[in-house]
C-alpha cells in the first residue's frame, strides 16, 4: 500500500491566523493515517520546520536544477534540506505555465532532488482543451514517461492536478479522479520501475475543500491530497486530513 499524504501548498501566501498558530493547530491533530506536509514560501521553511512536531513534514515549493553556482535568485536542493525541507513540489502547473518549466527541466529537478534526499512531489495534469478532446490519459502518460528520465530508481509522490481545477473552485468529480488515477497507475506500470509503479502515492489536487473531499475519498484510489487555497486555514486543512482517515 502506498503511504498517504495531505500536503498544504501555501503558494506565495501566508495563513491569516499566523504561522505559529497554524503550526500549533496542526500539532494538535491526533490520529489519521496520512502524513501532513506544509509547503511554505522559501523564507519560512526553517521556521515551520522548527515549529511543527515530529511526524509532520515540510516541503519547498520548487528548487533549482543545479546544485550551486551563478544562478541568481535560485535555491539549491541542498540548501532547502539544510533549512529543514524533506520534500519538494516539482512541476506544479503554475511553474510550467508562468515560468516556462518543461518536462525536461522538471526531470532534471527530480534527479537533483532525489540526489539530495528530498522527496519530489511531482505534479502532472491536463488542461481543459485536452480533457474535452478526450486526450487526458495520453497527455498524462507522456508526462509520466518524461519523468522516468529523472526518476532512476528513486521514490516520488505523484500529484494529479488537472489544470482547469486549480484555484478555480471547480474540482474534478470523484468518478473522474478515480478513473484518471487508474490510467496514471497504468502508465507508471509501463514507464517506471515496477516498485515505483506500485508504491508511488497518487494524490489529487484541484480546489479540494472540506465540502467536496468526502466525495473524492468515497471513490477510493486516492492516497491523499495536495491542497492550495483551503490549506491556508488550519481548520479546513485539518478537516480535509480527517476526511481521508
Catalytic residues: 92, 161
Q: Which residue is nearest to ligand PEP (CB)?
A: 228
First to last CA, the chain: 15
Give the SS3 label for residue 73.
Answer: coil
- For ligand PEP, the closer of residues 49 and 165 by Cβ is 165
Cβ pair 208, 174 in contact under 8 A: no
Q: How far apart are CA 154 and CA 221, in angstroms?
A: 22
User: How many residues belong to the chain?
Assistant: 245
- For ligand PEP, the closer of residues 76 and 122 by Cβ is 122
Residue 172 CB, shortest distance to ligand PEP, in Å, is: 11
- For ligand PEP, the closer of residues 123 and 196 by Cβ is 123
DSSP 195: H
Cβ pair 97, 77 in contact under 8 A: no
Cβ-based neighbours of 27, under 8 Å, separated by 6 or more: 51, 52, 53, 56
**Cell numbers given for 160:** 494529479
Helix (H) or strand (E) holding 25: helix 19-27
- For ligand PEP, the closer of residues 135 and 209 by Cβ is 209
Residue 213 CB, shortest distance to ligand PEP, in Å, is: 11
Comparing CA positions, the residue from 235, 213, 236, 210 lying closest to residue 224 is 213
- For ligand PEP, the closer of residues 83 and 226 by Cβ is 226
Cβ pair 86, 58 in contact under 8 A: yes
Cβ-based neighbours of 207, under 8 Å, separated by 6 or more: 165, 166, 167, 168, 169, 170, 171, 228, 229
Residues that bind ligand PEP (CB under 6 A): 9, 161, 166-167, 205-208, 226-229
Residue 72 CB, shortest distance to ligand PEP, in Å, is: 26
Residue 178 CB, shortest distance to ligand PEP, in Å, is: 18
Amino acid at each position: 500500500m502506498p503511504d498517504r499524504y495531505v500536503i498544504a501548498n501555501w503558494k506565495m501566501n501566508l495563513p491569516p491566523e499566523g504561522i505559529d498558530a497554524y503550526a500549533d493547530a496542526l500539532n494538535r491533530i491526533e490520529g489519521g493515517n496520512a502524513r501532513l506536509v506544509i509547503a511554505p514560501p522559501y523564507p519560512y521553511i526553517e521556521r515551520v520546520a522548527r515549529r511543527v512536531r515530529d511526524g509532520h513534514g515540510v516541503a519547498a515549493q520548487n528548487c533549482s536544477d543545479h546544485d550551486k553556482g551563478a544562478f541568481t535568485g535560485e535555491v539549491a536542493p541542498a540548501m532547502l534540506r539544510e533549512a529543514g525541507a524533506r520534500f519538494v513540489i516539482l512541476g506544479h502547473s503554475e511553474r510550467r505555465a508562468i515560468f516556462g518549466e518543461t518536462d525536461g527541466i522538471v526531470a532534471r529537478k527530480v534527479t537533483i532532488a532525489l540526489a539530495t534526499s528530498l522527496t519530489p512531489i511531482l505534479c502532472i495534469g491536463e488542461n481543459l482543451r485536452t480533457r474535452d478532446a478526450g486526450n487526458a490519459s495520453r497527455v498524462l502518460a507522456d508526462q509520466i514517461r518524461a519523468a522516468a528520465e529523472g526518476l532512476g530508481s528513486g521514490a516520488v509522490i505523484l500529484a494529479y492536478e488537472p489544470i482547469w481545477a486549480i484555484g478555480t473552485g471547480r474540482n474534478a468529480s470523484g468518478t473522474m479522479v478515480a478513473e484518471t488515477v487508474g490510467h496514471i497507475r497504468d502508465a507508471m506500470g509501463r514507464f517506471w520501475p515496477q516498485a515505483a509503479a506500485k508504491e508511488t502515492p497518487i494524490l489529487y489536487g484541484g480546489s479540494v475543500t472540506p465540502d467536496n473531499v468526502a466525495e473524492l475519498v468515497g471513490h477510493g484510489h486516492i492516497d491523499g491530497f495536495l491542497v492550495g487555497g483551503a490549506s491556508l486555514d488550519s481548520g479546513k486543512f485539518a478537516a480535509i486530513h480527517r476526511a481521508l482517515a
